[in-house]
Amino acid sequence: MKIAVVLGTRPEAIKMAPIVLKLKDHSSLTPLLCATGQHREMLQPVLELFELEPTVNFDVMKPNQSLNSLMAVLLQHLDAFFTEHEPDLVLVQGDTMTALCGALAAFYKHIPVGHVEAGLRTGDLYSPWPEEAHRVLIGRVCQLHFAPTTTSEQHLLRESTPPDSIFVTGNTVIDALLQVSEKVDNEAITIEGFPDEIMKGDQPLVLITGHRRESFGGGLASICRAIKRLARQFPNVYFVYPVHLNPNVRGPVNEFLNDPNDPCDNIILMEPLSYLPFVTMLKRSTLLLTDSGGIQEEAPGLGKPVLVTREKTERTEAVDAGTVILVGTDEEKIVAETSRLLTDQDAYDQMAQAINPYGDGQSAGRIIQICQEFLQKNRQA
């Protein structure tokens, strides 16, 4: 029985890698790994880290490509791939354009779809944009919904999703994180372009990421102003920012944080990190300032508080658990909450020691078992 795993971005590859690895070891299931190349430069290092070789790689991303044109080319390629390989089941993850097109292309060919990380919702189609709309649409064409938490399960039930199609599995990102964290502990990992004395030191380090479309423009400028103020306020704290490749991110980051006329020695801008160095940096960090969805799940697993630079999050479990605080793009709030965590040990410990609600590292095995039972039932029908 053939299961096609469709992925195209770095987060998809990280979260699907444990599933593909489990499939490769399964006697009755054959994985077909379809890489769309939606994030070409950032995808390949993850595939290499987990030693995954795609069955096909579309390499679809082009400069300044609109969402509509990306969807058109993805559907065309995926249709051809499904026609050639005839999978029995298609697995997609999350809320990317790759995931949406994988689900639609399979639906149009009457191939069952399983959605990994199903049921995340903010209730606002424009926040995050376009991801919220993507995951809602994916949910309407799936037969298997792998919800990471009971909160996600409840979202699906409120949308009249059949209860027997929903499975609470935990999040596969914890599976991947634990695998790579063990590798970091057992190997001497160096990060190109990052001073070794800082990595081995004990000075506080704030790790920053940002790439969401809804923050482009004024929001990202506000975040950067806050970082600059914090760097001045805390000269003994390092603020490390691996800068996303998108020019809408690089422009304001360089304008505000790399101004040769107003240098700040404790701000370190870097190229994007592949997953192994990123986990290394995550383990070294004191706290996170991010708009990433995956980091809201990963960082608490390592006891790192997270300040989320978004107005809304679909990962409300982390907010409820106390591992995450929403600060939005408000400069004053970012400065205030970061300062509090850097100066108030009790506030820091309360977040760092909270229980991560996203799983135990066994999610991939649960998903594979459910897929096998579903396919066997279909064959007997």
Catalytic residues: 95, 117, 131, 211, 213, 244
Q: What are phi and psi of 136, to 5 degrees?
A: -65, -45
Angstrom distance (rounded) from CA 111 to CA 176: 27
- Label the pairing between strands 205-208 and 267-270: unpaired
Cβ–Cβ contacts within 10 Å for residue 70, how many? Answer: 19
Angstrom distance (rounded) from CA 49 to CA 17: 10
- Amino acid identity of residue 131, one-letter, is E
Q: Structure tokens of 223? A: 């975040």
- Amino acid identity of residue 130, one-letter, is P
Task: Give the chain's count of helices (H) and strands (E).
Answer: 16, 13
Residues 6+ apart with CB under 8 A from 185: none
Per the CB < 8 A criterion, the answer to whether 73 and 119 are in contact is no
Angstrom distance (rounded) from CA 291 to CA 169: 24
DSSP-derived 3-state class of residue 70 = helix
Is residue 50 left, alpha or beta, with left meaning phi > 0 and alpha meaning psi from -120 to 50? alpha
Nearest Cα to Cα of residue 324 among 336, 312, 316, 332: 316
The CA-based angle 126-91-362, given to 5 degrees, is 100
Angstrom distance (rounded) from CA 240 to CA 279: 14
Max Cα-Cα span within the chain: 71
